[in-house]
Amino acid sequence: MNKAPVQVKVVLLGDSGVGKSSIVLRFVADNFKSDGEATIGASYMGKILQFNDKTIKFNIWDTAGQERYHSLAKMYYRDANAAIMVYDITKKGSFEGLKKWQKELADFGPKDISIIIAGNKEDLVECEATSPEEAKAFAKSIGALYKKTSAKTNYGVEQIFRDLAAKLFPEI
Ligand code: GDP
């Protein structure tokens, strides 16, 4: 008998242009747009993944461009189970920006939220402007996982959702 999927709310955080919408589009629709127009308005997408005998529905909320004004509504964070904090490995400033996002998450997000830090644009690793060791150390200091992704090549994208699920449900 099929059991109803377990619902998991995931929010994306990170500076504008780091690839948040692209990661979601790659994960949900296996698609990539190199001239990605900024998302306007509320942005929600869902995707189901199977884990042995558990079915998880990821309800994914993207900032929809609001991060530019630093005015993410409180309901964005409400009841979130997991957060993906994204930076662009070629832009040092976007890594520094994570500290601001982490503070915001600590102030407004649920206390027990699971966090993964995604160093995106792994396909441009020859232009890497951040130290992965520093990123790993920061992730560790906030109890988060650290992974690299490329929405362009699909490197590591589904894996960050699998890692979050494993963090939330250690038995799977
Ligand atoms: P957001 O503002 O954080 O949602 O970022 P977008 O998803 O709109 O992406 C910003 C720009 O970066 C777009 O031009 C994307 O095509 C590009 N981009 C996103 N992910 C990647 C990636 O993994 N590699 C490369 N080379 N470009 C990417």
What does each C-alpha distance from 73 to 2, 92, 97, 136, 152 come to in angstroms? 35, 26, 18, 29, 29
**Predicted complex ipTM exceeds 0.90:** yes
pLDDT of amino acid 66: 75
Q: Whose CA is nearest to atom 24 of ligand 1?
A: 121
Longest dimension (CA), the chain: 50
* 123 CA to centre of ligand 1 in angstroms: 11
Amino acid found at 106: A
Could you tell me which of 79, 85, 100, 102 has the C-alpha nearest to residue 145?
85
Ligand 1 pocket check for 68: Cβ under 6 Å: no
Q: For residue range 52-72, what is the model confidence (pLDDT) as tens digits?
A: 889 999 999 998 777 777 667
Query: Sheet of 43-51: strands edge to edge?
Result: 43-51, 54-62, 6-13, 82-88, 114-120, 145-148
Ligand 1 pocket check for 36: Cβ under 6 Å: yes
Ligand 1 pocket check for 124: Cβ under 6 Å: yes
Residue 5 pLDDT exceeds 60:
yes
Pocket test for ligand 1, best of 15, 22, 60, 101 (most atoms within 8 A of CB): 22
SS3 54: strand
Q: Do the beta carbons of residue 13 and residue 84 sit within 8 Å?
A: yes
Q: Which atom of ligand 1 is nearest to the CA of 86?
A: 3
Q: For residue range 13-57, what is the model confidence (pLDDT) as tens digits?
A: 999 999 999 999 999 999 998 876 655 544 889 999 999 889 999
Q: For residue range 94-135, what is the model confidence (pLDDT) as tens digits?
A: 999 999 999 999 999 999 999 999 999 999 999 999 999 999
For residue 73, how many other CB atoms are within 10 A of its CB?
10
Q: Whose CA is nearest to atom 9 of ligand 1?
A: 19
